[in-house]
Amino acid sequence: MLDVVAYSPDWPAIRRRAATLPWAAGILRAIGEGFATWSGLPIPGHERASAWTHHYFCDADGAALRYDPSIPDRHCCVSCGRTYTGEPWDGAWRAVTHSVLAGQAQRAALLLRLPTPGQPRQSALDELERIVGTYARDYRSYAPHGEAAGIGRVQPQCLDEAVWAVGLLRAVRWSGDALTPETSAAVDGMARSIAGLLRPQVGAVHNIHCWLLAALAECAARLGDTDLLTWCRDGEHGAEAQVRQGFHPEGLWYEVNPHYHYYALAALLSYREAAGRDGLSEEADARLSRAVAAPPLLAYSDGRLPAYGDGWPDCHVAEFAPQAEAARALLADKPDLAPYHARPRASPVTLWFGARLPERSAPLTGRSSVAALVFGPDDVPEGDAGERRSFVWPSAGIGLVRSAGARIAMRFGPDAGWHDHRDKLAVDVETAAGWCSLDLGTSGYAADFTAWLRSPVAHNTVTVGGHPQPAHTGRLLDSSPRHLAAESSWDGHVLRRTLTLTAGGWTDVLTVTLAQPAAIEWTFHGDGPFTTEPAEPAEPTMATDAAEPAEPIEPIESAEPAEAAEPAEAATWEGELGHAWLREVRRIPLGPDRRLRGTWAHDGPRLTLDVPDGFDAYTATADGNPNGRPLGLLILRGHAGRARFQAEFTNG
């Protein structure tokens, strides 16, 4: 039986830190500013249900909609200004507001524990009573409803319900015995109801279920329920199973992309806080520490992390410093914080690790999270961004080779589930000149633009038969610090890709052997439009009617720029390769040697590419480059049973 002894912050030490260390004082000051900004925010009632926050993205460009707490019925894209009204956007606005209020409860709890000049303690207590008391009394009045991921009451699904509950119950736990007896009793009732709602929905090793366990651990801590806490740790899909089965031995979460990696890590650290030191075994504790250390090894020179699968495109190591700070206090095996603070980025104070909440306080550079204030050490050791080397993670299925001139990664591992983009053997690149070929990641899942970001053409790999790859597992063939080879196969088709660093750049050889001849499409994209060098005139035998590829390949439709903002009506992940999102599609004339030469803008590498017989070459542009630069694509299309694509990249 597991004792219920949640982690207890050392509040006197935290008060001393806030009084003597400038970075800690800055965080506490921002908490006070945020508290004043959000005080009195009305609590959405139970009369209208919340909706999935992934609706809160623009269909045209995938950008987020601007959250304004004073405008519940009009929602504008932060990028193009397009306005959305009605449902589901109003419901998503309500969901965000519920999350903001859980954050406000945490600010109130902190200001009760860490009083500051000019911030009356009574106002913090009143706000905490108002928020917590209202939700606790009315919780069962919110009707159960669900979208995309289980059932919630206050929130639109079990995932958002769990994250909201963790924030609210953590605030109650941090506030000690500050609440009135009536409110405290109502919180007990709410905790029982939350546990009753969420426990039956735990049923998989997944980031969602990690958050369910974190919320259930908070409920158990609140109620002193040792049976529930033991079940959270040792159940079939309990915390031990989540860590041992969910994280590869190298430390990377099985859904591969950094966003979900840190999301799952935040959930399990939240669980660990509520469950206490016996909430995980020593082995699981050590694997969570490796989960903190692993992602920075994948980072680009500016600290950006690759947005594999459904990762958010603007994702940097520094954004996840709160998880590392919390891990320093919660885990026995203390991770190194230096990589997370080597390239600081200005950001508003992060209220709790794992929550993405609107903030209005002034951004801070450096340590800027509640996790740093409550869990972190007084000082962060100076250091660099971590070891910059070639490596292979066989279990996770990622290999990376580095030289002074380039960083190149390839993914070949097991399928990552629903968030996988089915892009085995895809590569992403950064050169010393600053040119990048990035994974595009994704946007809000309900936005039309996500169909492009998930499409095969948006990835640097090969498409066979006019269809996306099926779910499957690739395998490593060979590796060294300057060489990486992997294979991907399904239905008798075999793809092999070999990356080799050279003195001036790298070579990239991809061979395709099919069970029967089919359409083959090779794609590579990068910063800026691709410009070819002049080619010799085509041989006379290449007649004018060769302007369209031979059947059974469907031609790429070249849309006018004004039309490219919207995909074709029938564009779906299942039926489209992504061509509808391309602009300025142009066929490249090839000389007799069928050798294509050219380069991308923005100091791109010079490419020499042998185009197989029977294949045509195209250039195109598209949107969605995570670094904001124009995206230029090079596409080879043909119909064959075998093909070899040999590309030589030379750094400028």
**What global pTM score does this model have?**
0.90
- Could you tell me the pLDDT band of residue 539, with boundaries at 50, 70 and 90? very low
Is 63 within 8 Å of 79 (Cβ atoms)?
yes
pLDDT surpassing 50 at residue 453: yes
pLDDT at 525: 98
Sequence-distant (6+) residues with CB within 8 A of 499 are: 401, 408, 410, 427, 483, 484, 485, 506, 507, 508
Residues contacting 602, CB < 8 A, separation 6+: 434, 435, 527, 528, 629
H/E element holding 34?
A: helix 22-38
CATH number of 391-650: 2.70.98.70
pLDDT tens digits, 310-365: 988 888 999 999 999 999 999 998 999 999 999 988 988 988 776 678 877 788 98
Both structure tokens of 337: 């914080």
Residue 544 pLDDT level (bands cut at 50, 70, 90): very low
Report DSSP state, residue 603.
T
Cα dihedral 71, 72, 74, 76 sign: positive
pLDDT value, residue 547: 34
pLDDT above 70 for 50: yes
pLDDT of residue 101: 96
Q: Which residue has the higher pLDDT, 355 or 275?
A: 275
- Taking the CA atoms of residue 298, residue 301, residue 304 and residue 305 in that order, the dihedral angle to the nearest 10 degrees is -10
DSSP state of 477: E
Q: Give 140's pLDDT tier (boundaries 50, 70, 90).
A: very high
pLDDT at 556: 52
- List pLDDT tens digits, range 576-625: 689 999 999 999 999 999 999 999 999 999 999 999 999 999 999 999 99
pLDDT digits (tens, 9 = 90+) for 585-597: 999 999 999 999 9
Which residue in 378, 372, 377 sits closest to 31, CA to CA? 372
- 235-243 mean pLDDT: 98
Give pLDDT, residue 569. 32
- The yes-or-no verdict on residue 551 having pLDDT over 80 is no
| The one-letter amino acid at 540 | P
Distance (Å, whole) CA 41 – CA 299: 39
In 307-439, DSSP assigns E strands to: 391-393, 398-402, 406-411, 427-431, 436-437
Q: Which helix (H) or strand (E) holds 522?
A: strand 505-527
280 has a pLDDT exceeding 50 = yes
**pLDDT tens digits, residue range 144-203?**
999 878 999 999 999 999 999 999 999 999 999 999 999 999 999 999 999 999 999 999
Contact criterion met (CB below 8 Å) for 38 and 100: yes
Report the pLDDT value the prediction gives residue 535, as an integer from 0 to 100. 59
Rounded to an integer, what distance in angstroms lies between the CA atom of residue 41 and that of residue 60?
31
Three-state secondary structure along 440-466? CCCCCCCCCCHHHHCCHHHCCCEEECC
* Cα three-residue angle 309-312-317, rounded to 5 degrees: 105
Domain range annotation of the chain = 1-8+209-361+380-388, 39-201, 391-650
Contact between residue 468 and residue 577 where contact means Cβ atoms under 8 Å apart: yes
Q: How far apart (Å, rounded) are the C-alpha atoms in residues 60 and 56?
A: 12
Question: What is 1-8+209-361+380-388's CATH number?
Answer: 1.50.10.100
Q: What is the mean pLDDT of residues 118-129?
A: 90
CA distance 597 to 532: 6
Residues in contact with 434: Cβ distance below 8 Å, sequence separation at least 6, in sequence order: 602, 603
Classify 62 as helix, strand or coil: coil
**CB within 8 Å of 545: residues ≥ 6 apart:** none
Strand (E) or helix (H) holding 650:
strand 631-650
Torsions phi, psi of 145, nearest 5? -155, 160
